[in-house]
Amino acid sequence: MTKAEVITQIAEKTGVAKEDVATTVEAFFSVVKNSMAEGENIYVRGFGSFINKKRAKKIARNISKNTAIVIDEHFVPSFKPSKVFIEKIKNSKKVNKMTAVQA
């Protein structure tokens, strides 16, 4: 599902104009990105948490030059779904059908 499809569905369910929904969705993403860039985590009850995870310093290999390089410790954005969110996915009949077909 794309961002445009999400905006369309929200507009249909709420009756709010697509342009207003698009502005709101863009503002939400902007707040999430800016807050996380400032080192703040965002917690949405019943949905999940947008958190910064710390990656430790490590030595990696550049296989094309056959050399070792050092990757300093850094932070990466991450999303951790809530227990309610996880349970909804686990109990989803469509997701379970997809899993059965792939197996």
Tokens of 66: 């056959």
pTM (whole model) above 0.85: no
Give the per-residue pLDDT at 32. 95
Query: Which residues in the chain land under pLDDT 70?
Result: 96-103
d(CA 59, CA 80): 27
Give the per-residue pLDDT at 94. 77
**Segment 71-84, tens digit of pLDDT:** 999 999 999 999 99
Give the per-residue pLDDT at 93. 80
Give the per-residue pLDDT at 100. 59
- Residues forming beta bridges with residue 50, ordered by sequence position: 42, 79
Give the per-residue pLDDT at 92. 85
Instruction: Read off φ and ψ for residue 12, nearest 5 degrees.
Output: -65, -40
